[in-house]
Structure 1
Amino acid sequence: MRLSVLVSAAVLAATALVPAPAQAATALPAPVACDGCWKPALNTSWEWRLSSLPAKPFLDVQMYDIDGFAAAESGTIVKALKAARPGRKLVCYISAGSHEDWRPDAGQFPAGVLGKPLDEWEGERWLDIRQYTGKLGEIMKARLDMCKAAGFDAVEPDNVDAYTNDSGFPLKAADQLAYNAWFANEAHKRGLSVGLKNDVAQIPRLLPYFDFAVNEQCWQYSECTTAQNGTYGYDQFVKAGKAVFQVEYELRTSQFCARSNAQNFNSLKKTYDLDGTRTACR
């Protein structure tokens, strides 16, 4: 599983948040409109499968989120999933913030953009996202083109919270905001909707750029809602009519499902492997 490095709520509060005046001063490009993009309904059934590609019989869910490179190599899985349930949407998982040494484009990354290893994820290193106007940006554009060509409807860019981690670079909140907004705009230029993966503290600034959200363990770390955090939360996505796809790994369903349902989140209980094991909250 390509799980972002987890940061406790206490660490996030101490290191990730930038005072509102500083964030407000960060100039960002205008969001690129994507009128034809898929806009998931607030209540959307889904499955997240990254350890391997789904096999028949497929689940009767409205959306599958699967590995983009594996799907592109398969050449048939996206079409098969859509044929099995007309109207089903497919989300293309890629890492937008880390170098994965097993990917076919791994050799294209300049040495100067490679940072420290991700804790507990062998073969991955953080990227210097400040360099997105150069070769790094071209690589990410090619990945988006791959998702589009494979027939995906949306993209899930992972590891877009490097500024809260020990990346090896002096990344600031403003750097992350600029990169994430740029990435979302590039997805929209290709007719792909885009989900904000984690990066919960920057929701207020990034909400206009993203069509839905994907979160891991916000209930475990008590950072799901604005009431918990003070200024940011996934309830802001819901209020804007944008779906939230949320997963817990360690909590029992009795510890979070009722709360998720009350917030209108689409929550699942999964294993860290992101295999076929799942319990849907609704």
Structure 2
Amino acid sequence: MVSRLTRRLLVAAAATALAVTASTLTRNPADAAVTLPPAHAKFDYQIGGAYTPPAGVQVVTRDRTATPAAGLYNICYVNAFQVQPGEQGQWGSDLLLRDAKGNLVIDEDWGEPLLDLRTADKRNRIAAKVNGWIDGCAGKGYKAIEPDNYDSYTRSKNLLTAGQAKAYLTLLATHAHSKSLAIGQKNTVELAGDRTSVGLDFAVAEECGQYDECGDYVDAFGNNVIVIEYTDNGRRTACSQYGGTLSIVQRDVDVSVPGDSGYVRKTC
């Protein structure tokens, strides 16, 4: 015969188990079991070419085609919303965004065609390809993903919407988390308030010091913000405001490697 004490203990244990289960089921996507980049860590941005990280660097971003830096926290850069120059033939023609005249919509600054996110079918097909790249990042040992050009809808001649961009990035975030990878929001400060619903874990902010936007990222992501500046003024501003809490680095716009004439790397 079960005593009253035993019954009480069993009831309490069951209640605890139910509470834990409910907590797990209602967990936000951004709370997945992933490891975030350490906050206020020394950082280097190496998407233009991999090289031996400077002394003291703890976090490195490299292109998905590169090998991670040994012993560091590595973020895998993926051009998720636009097509790298020379890779247009790797995409289905109908997945490239075209205007009413049938012309490709191009990011003129970098010569990159935009991907067409206007229907759920196209978003799923594009995500399937990019998620394959994410799998490659996981297989190489990267800890996080940096999907670039979230803001491509602002360059789409009003053909794409913020809602379509968020729906597509949610697909990537869900897949990254399934591989135990953190995923960052790249720029697009106007959508930072949606980071939880999309499933984003940290931010990578270019020139937030230059344009007085760092505080907006901090409001959404706390200290889980990596800042990349391309001017002395932007670096000085970011460092004066957040040098004690955020990861901040200044690089040259081409993100070149040491030995190149334009190479720049400065910190706070």
TM-score bucket (shorter structure): 0.7 to 0.9
Q: Percent identity, please.
A: 27
- Which residue identity is paired with 1:183? L
| Matching residue within 40, 46, 51 for 1:49 | 46
Aligned to 2:242: 260
Question: What pairs with 1:43-122 in structure 2 (closer than 5 Å)?
Answer: 43-55=40-52, 58-69=54-65, 71=66, 77-78=67-68, 81-82=69-70, 86=71, 88-103=72-87, 106-115=88-97, 116-122=105-111
Question: Could you say what secondary structure the match of 1:161 adopts?
Answer: helix
Letter in 1 for 2:218: D
Counterpart residue number, 2:126:
136
Return the match for 1:191 from 176, 180, 194.
180
Amino acid at match of 1:214: V
- Of 29, 32, 35, which aligns to 1:31? 29
Contact 1:32 1:185 in 2 (8 A): no
C-alpha separation between the residues in 1 aligned to 2:196 and 2:106? 29
Instruction: Report the TM-score when normalising by structure 1.
Output: 0.72
1:91-147 per-position Cα deviation (integer Å, ceiling 9, x unaligned): 1111000011434xx53311112131112213x111112355442121111111111
Query: Which sections of structure 1, spanning at least 5 residues, go unmatched?
Result: 1-29, 72-76, 226-232
Offset, 1:150 = 1.4
Give the match for residue 229 of structure 1.
none
Letter in 2 for 1:184: A
Which SS does the other structure have where 1:41 is aligned?
A: coil
Deviations along 1:239-269, one digit per CA (max 9) or x if unpaired, are 3xx510011112434333111226x221111
From the superposition, tell whether residues 168 and 254 of structure 1 become closer, same or farther in structure 2 (CA, over 3 Å). closer
Tell which deviates more after alignment, 185-194 or 202-211. 202-211
Q: How far apart, CA to CA, are the structure 1 residues paired with 2:221 and 2:130?
A: 28
- Do structure 1's residue 147 and structure 2's residue 129 form an aligned pair? no
Hey, what's the Cα distance between the residues in 1 that align with 2:211 and 2:49?
A: 28
SS in 2 for 1:178: helix
Match of residue 148 from structure 2: 158
Question: Could you tell me which residue of structure 2 aligns to residue 176 of structure 1?
Answer: 165
Q: Distance in 1 between matches of 2:195 and 2:221?
A: 14
Tell me, in whole angstroms, the C-alpha distance in 1 between the residues paired with 2:158 and 2:93.
13
Runs of 4+ in 1 over 6 A off after TM superposition: none
Bigger-Rg structure (1/2): 2
Residue 236 of structure 1 aligns with an amino acid whose one-letter code is D
5+ residue gaps, structure 2, are: 1-27, 98-104, 258-263
Task: State the distance in 1 between where 2:168 and 2:157 align.
Answer: 17
The 2-side partners of 1:45 and 1:146 are apart by: 25
Residue 202 of structure 1, CA deviation: 0.7
Shift of 1:212: 1.1
Deviations along 1:202-221, whole A, 9 cap, x unmatched?
Answer: 11111451121101112222
- Please, what TM-score do these two structures have when normalized by structure 2? 0.76
- The Cα of 1:168 is off from its aligned counterpart by 5.0
Give the Cα separation in 1 of the matches to 2:78 and 2:221.
Answer: 24
State the 1:275 CA deviation: 2.6
Q: Which residue of 2 aligns with 1:243?
A: 224
Inter-partner Cα distance in structure 1 for 2:129 and 2:89: 11
The alignment yields a C-alpha RMSD, in angstroms, of: 2.3
Q: Is the 8 A contact 1:110 1:135 kept in 2?
A: no
- 8 Å Cα contact 1:32-1:189 kept in structure 2: no
Q: Do the aligned partners of 1:220 and 1:251 also contact (CA within 8 Å) in 2?
A: no
CA distance in 2, matches of 1:214, 1:275: 18
Which of 193, 204, 216 does residue 206 from structure 2 map onto? 216
Q: 1:267 to 1:173 in 2, by over 3 A?
A: same
AA partner of residue 31 (structure 1): P
Q: CA deviation at 1:33?
A: 4.8
**2:114 aligns to what?**
126
Give the secondary-structure state (helix, strand or coil) at the position aligned to 2:29: coil
Mapped contact 1:216–1:246 kept (Cα < 8 A): yes
